[in-house]
Amino acid sequence: MLKIGIVGISGRMGHALYDCIVGMDGVKLICGIDRNQSSLPPGCSVEVKASPEELSELPDVFIDFTRPQCSLAVLRFAAAHNISYVLGTTGFDEAGRAVIAECSATVPVVMASNFSVGVNLLLALVEQTSAVTQDSDIEIVEAHHRYKVDAPSGTAISIGEAAARGRNVNLKDVMVVGRNGITGERQYGTIGFSSIRGGDIVGEHSVMFCADGEIVELKHHASSRATFARGALRAAKWLEGKGAGLYGMPQVLGLKR
């Protein structure tokens, strides 16, 4: 029985993970970490503490969809206590990514900007389409709920990286985020990003490959956070028996070795 701890159990993804774990074969939720314990999932009876140091029993794996500062603190604890990690938090800076790399040298970590099976298939298709449609202009549009704090979304960045790989360029060199005012003509080879924030949008991502005379559009629409929760739990199960390292969903899904 794989013992799981949810970091941010009172949040939206924490609730989704809790709902997916209940009744699932082979896994058992034993604890949660959250400073806010007034919004726990209905019926939640597991131990919930403000920090991992306070837990009376440690899990085999933490699943985390919170914010960078919280994630890095718990990840450091996990690395010190040989606990595997599924990391869905986005918005890390270079220093944060360095901490993740350091910790993954000690324990196995699956990190992804999006744990949806569909999104990971989309990334593979984007890379392939980008390579084939070399002369097209690429525009990425993403939409999320009003509470999301980073933009573009981590998934949109991953889509941009997939498109850049298809053309053997570095995303940082060709990335254009938002447009306003007199911007001049679109520069050839750039990859544009637009972000929408509003309501309770779970997550929408579209990629347009715009060429003279035709447009190819790839799109993913998430209607429920359950799709991300199921993917994260799939990753947690996949980590059993894995050695230290930083893994991604393509490896979990068998899309990449």
| Burial class of residue 250, CB neighbours in 10 A (0-12, 13-18, 19+) | middle
Sign of the alpha-carbon torsion through 63, 202, 252, 104: negative
Q: What sign does the CA torsion over 34, 38, 41, 47 have? A: positive
Catalytic residue among 144, 172, 220, 237: 144
Helix (H, G, I), strand (E, B) or coil at 116: coil
For residue 43, how many other CB atoms are within 10 A of its CB?
Answer: 8
Q: Indicate if 219 belongs to the active site.
A: no
Considering 3, 49, 81, 148, which one is annotated as catalytic? 148
| Structural tokens at position 84 | 């595997």
Count Cβ atoms within 10 A of the Cβ of residue 87 and give its class: 0-12 exposed, 13-18 middle, 19 or more buried.
Answer: buried
- The answer to whether 144 is a known catalytic residue is yes
* Contact indicator for 138, 169 with CB cutoff of 8 Å: no
Residues noted as catalytic: 144, 148
